[in-house]
Amino acid sequence: MTIKVGDKLPEAQFRVMTADGVQVKTTDDIFKGKKVALFAVPGAYTGTCHKMHLPSIFLNAYAIKDKGVNTIAIVSVNDAFVMNAWKRDTDQRDEATFLADGNAEFTKAIGMDLDASGNGLGIRSKRYSMLVDNGVVKKLNLEAAPGKVEVSGGDTLLGQL
């Protein structure tokens, strides 16, 4: 079942890199009592994700937060080490939390998994953005194709706030 507006996010765990190493964060840790702009990408460092999707988020980060968003989070089916390196290389102003969903547990639980094994990438996430308020999906923007950023970018979500 694919998640939709009005649904509560399921319980899941993410991995994040901290000064003390890899830590587990739950959906409650990330979303409970907060308004979160969540952006999902098929893969860290991949062309569209790295050159189009992330820049659209960071170009609009201040404005998104000015509209009452507490956290900007980026999730991908990658490990915490890759996500940490990607944050280091892209998030110069420390504006986002990078969530590793290495086993696609969260991605599968919300029905956003994508079989990219034909391209040698295995199971990945579909490209989307969502506004989550206290764990409930308020806006959801799913791309028709993983190689495009037409409705899932930071500019689209900003316009919906």
Place of tokens 């696609």: 104
Instruction: Tell me how far the alpha carbon of residue 140 is from its chain's centroid.
Output: 12
110 catalytic per annotation: no
User: Residue 141: beta bridge partners?
Assistant: 129
Q: What whole-number distance in Å separates Cα of residue 41 and Cα of residue 87? A: 13
Place of tokens 């998640």: 3
Of the candidates 12, 49, 74, 100, the residue annotated as catalytic is: 49
157 and 67 in contact (C-beta within 8 Å)? no
User: Which alpha helices (H) appear in 1-153, and where do they start and end?
Assistant: 27-31, 47-48, 54-59, 61-66, 80-90, 105-109
Mind telling me the catalytic residues? 49
